[in-house]
Structure 1
């Protein structure tokens, strides 16, 4: 069985994939794994801007309206061209016609859904998870779009039997299909910042209560 991939990723998670053998980027809210693209075109000088962007968000390469690479009027030719101030990269045509440039590659990599692995979180927040059975506490950084099931999967790193617990907030069972906000657990980061309150001291907590039916690891 293939390993589970979360639908949403934090910027920190994307940033971890920053080497040639494991290269991700994010743009316009998408997270893409370009490892196979880099491997396929190994040695191609047009990979340079992509390699330098490993693990980073490259939304500034794109026009948010067209979802395509930014364009400008080339001062030499007066023609509309792709704007690549960081250097021309794969699937971008040369500024002038050339006979050695192959344009039969099909879909450019930034439009190819095969490279998409998930969605970049619009925001992250931190939440305390308290296991009432063993009195252990962990702090997770989660994506605001994630539901409780997805948060549970993040927590499996600390407790492989997390699904054998009832998840509660202020004594009320959480709806596992809903996000923290939808479960009435507001994101108060901005208020803490404005009031100069210590986020660590006032961070909301989810309590886990053992169901006495351990699941398989």
Structure 2
């Protein structure tokens, strides 16, 4: 069935998210759906797990499914941390949880294949986006249906990205005018750029619960017959 498409903005059917929150990463914590984050980026390691299914070297990766593993890495080299092996006196990767996929064995072995190319943690093949270093909650109120939803979003996400998060609650979200404090929002800008300040630090300073005041964005239906 042909679609009219959006009145404005990106093609949300093929929209690519830039940011993911830690709680979103944590939801992908199963072998058949395994994400991790490290050094500010989010990675989908599900294809790696499928490729090495049944291999004992997957165990350390399976144990950290849905978690941030930045502590595994040297932030300057972006490589796995290294140390001097007390048994061999040689520089080796430091793997407290045990050796994992693409980490060479401590001693030469004839059964270890090193023809895999770039180790999984060095390439961008599994990268799906950035990790939101700072998140905040907002309320989105549909003034037509009088429905309200609270979303956790990344502080650097544009309004289009926030709209994309909201689509499960309202598939026609792009058919609404988004407003805050009586003003139309610029959908290409972030919350802060639209004048919706993050006051969490101020609430912390005053020893007040920030949840007492969550900014509310109002949605007004345009009746433009947009279909997503």
Matches of 2:160 and 2:170, distance apart in 1? 14
Is there any run of 5+ residues in structure 1 with no aligned partner, and where?
A: none
2:69 counterpart residue number: 58
1:129-208 matches, cutoff 5 A:
129-208=140-219
Deviation at 1:62, TM superposition (A): 0.2
Runs of 4+ in 1 over 3 A off after TM superposition: 1-5
Q: 1:38 aligns with which of 41, 45, 49?
A: 49
Deviation at 1:163, TM superposition (A): 0.6
1:18 maps onto 2:18 in alignment: no
Matches of 2:15 and 2:180, distance apart in 1? 26
Deviation at 1:45, TM superposition (A): 0.8
Is there any run of 5+ residues in structure 2 with no aligned partner, and where?
A: 1-11
Between Structure 1 and Structure 2, how many residues are aligned?
217
How high is the TM-score relative to the length of structure 1?
Answer: 0.95
1:74-89 matches, cutoff 5 A:
74-89=85-100
1:110 maps onto 2:110 in alignment: no
Q: Deviations over 1:3-36 (max 9, x none)?
A: 6442111111111111111111111111111111
The structure with higher relative contact order (CA 8 Å, sep 6+) is: 2
Q: Secondary structure at the match of 1:139?
A: strand
Matches of 2:80 and 2:178, distance apart in 1? 44
Matches of 1:4 and 1:172, distance apart in 2? 26
How high is the TM-score relative to the length of structure 2?
Answer: 0.91
Q: Secondary structure at the match of 1:117?
A: strand
Q: Secondary structure at the match of 1:37?
A: helix
1:210 counterpart residue number: 221
Matches of 1:30 and 1:93, distance apart in 2? 24
CA RMSD between the two structures = 1.5
Deviation at 1:199, TM superposition (A): 2.4
